[in-house]
Structures are given as structure tokens and as C-alpha cells.
Amino acid sequence: MKSQTPHPNSAYPLRLQKFLSRAGVASRRGSENLMTEGRVSVNGHIVRELGIKIDPVSDIVAVDGKKVRPDGGAVSLMLNKPTGVLTTMSDPHGRPTVAQLIADAGYPALFPVGRLDQDTSGLLLFTTDGELGYKLTHPKYELFKTYQAHVKGQPNKAALRALQQGMQLEDGMTAPAKIHYSKGVLTLSIREGRNRQVRRMCEAIGHPVQKLHRTHFGPLALGTLREGNWRHLEPDEVSALVLELKET
């Protein structure tokens, strides 16, 4: 907001709404709304004009009076991954990747937390926080991931029990899972994250997966997020994730 010599990083000064979205406060549009609602201040002065630029190093930005951490603040978001898209940040063969779907978020440092198969849709988490990302996929923390699997045929009680209690796969026994079956859709909550695990579990009971969709990752729910869209995690969602890592 002050006039000053340009920051050595040419990305600065930064539009205030871009700064807010980069700091993980809200999406770009959400940040603009916060500004027009008079909830954003720069150096103690409420700023409603959307064109204003700030220097994240020297200007103090607050939302509802609470200081926003400058670029150092980690950013986490969730994507509703469509099928046919690879969980990778670049593909030498030019196939569609999740990187293309989150490019407009404007954080090159985002990386996916774990992965979903090309043919699987649903909740895929991204973060710029290396430690958080590492822990969320570490077997030690064992977060539940919930999938809806449309399967071929109708599994009987014994098959459902096998899924639930643990079953032998080529890379060892699976851990107990939460299972629910209704009208062709198996809902499975598993703590592990082995390669193609849900598909292999369903294959092993003789009911191959025809369609697979992840609805939950630990305490996070995909909700109504549209396919191919992403959104920032709310601060309380990040807190819930962190709490989950502490409790287990």
C-alpha cells in the first residue's frame, strides 16, 4: 500500500485479494467479498477497493482484526478429481493432470497428499505444507479414507465380512475396514492407502469395481464441491486434520 522501492521478488507488490487467497484465507472471489464487506484492513485501515496492492513483507494485513500470515502461511485445498486425470504435477506424455485443475489457485508449491488412480474420482487433498502432507499419508497416523465403489454383482454377507475383518491380498492382510452395502454401492472406509487397494479388495471378493469415488479424507468431506473444482480448506478443517494427527 505504501509507495516503496520494488521488492526484489517481482511478484510484489501483490493485489490484496491475491495475497489473501495465497495466504489461504479464502478463494480469490471469497477474498474480494471479505474486502467489500469491510473485513480486511491494511496497516490498521479498512480497505474496500479491490485494485489495491500491498507488499506482503512490510504491510500488515488483517481480516476481522486478526493478522494474516504473509506468504509463509501454508495453503491447503481439496479438489474433486474427475476420472481420467492423473494424480501428478506433470506428465511427460501430455495427459490431463491434477496440476492443470489447480493451476488457477496460483501456488506452484502445492503437491497432492497421496494419490487417486486415474480412474478414481473424488476428494484429493493438496498442501504446500511438507510436514502436514507427509504425516497425512504416513501409515502411523492411519486416517480413514472413505470410498464409494459401484461394484459388479451383489456381495453376500461372507464377502462383506471379509472386507470388514481384513483379507489376504498379494501384499499382505488388509486392516479391518468399515463397510456398508446398499443397492450396488459399497461404502468402504479404510485406514491404509496401498496401491489400488479398494479395487483389489473388491476384485478379491469377486465383485470388481466399476466406478470408484472418494468422499472423505479423515475428517474432511467432499460435500457439494463440483467435479473438476477445488476449494481452499477452511481454517477449522485444517485444525481438524491436525487434531486427527495428534489423536492417533
Residues that bind ligand URA (CB under 6 A): 116-117, 120, 196-199, 212
**Closer Cβ to ligand URA, 132 or 209, answer by number:** 209
Whether 48 contacts 38, CB under 8 Å = yes
**Closer Cβ to ligand URA, 22 or 199, answer by number:** 199
Q: Pick the catalytic residue: 55, 117, 129, 171?
A: 117
Shortest distance (Å) from residue 212 CB to ligand URA: 6
With a CB cutoff of 8 Å and minimum separation 6, the contacts of 78 are 123, 124, 125, 126, 217, 220, 222, 225, 230, 231, 233
Shortest distance (Å) from residue 16 CB to ligand URA: 38
Whether 185 contacts 154, CB under 8 Å = no
CA torsion sign, 201 to 203 to 206 to 212? positive
**What's the CA gap between 132 and 17, in Å, rounded?**
25
Shortest distance (Å) from residue 182 CB to ligand URA: 20
**Closer Cβ to ligand URA, 35 or 125, answer by number:** 125
With a CB cutoff of 8 Å and minimum separation 6, the contacts of 217 are 78, 113, 123, 125, 136, 143, 145
The verdict on whether 91 is a catalytic residue reads no
Shortest distance (Å) from residue 120 CB to ligand URA: 3
Whether 19 contacts 56, CB under 8 Å = yes
User: Can you read off the three cell numbers belonging to residue 60?
Assistant: 500488515
**Closer Cβ to ligand URA, 105 or 202, answer by number:** 202
Q: Please give the positions annotated as active site.
A: 117
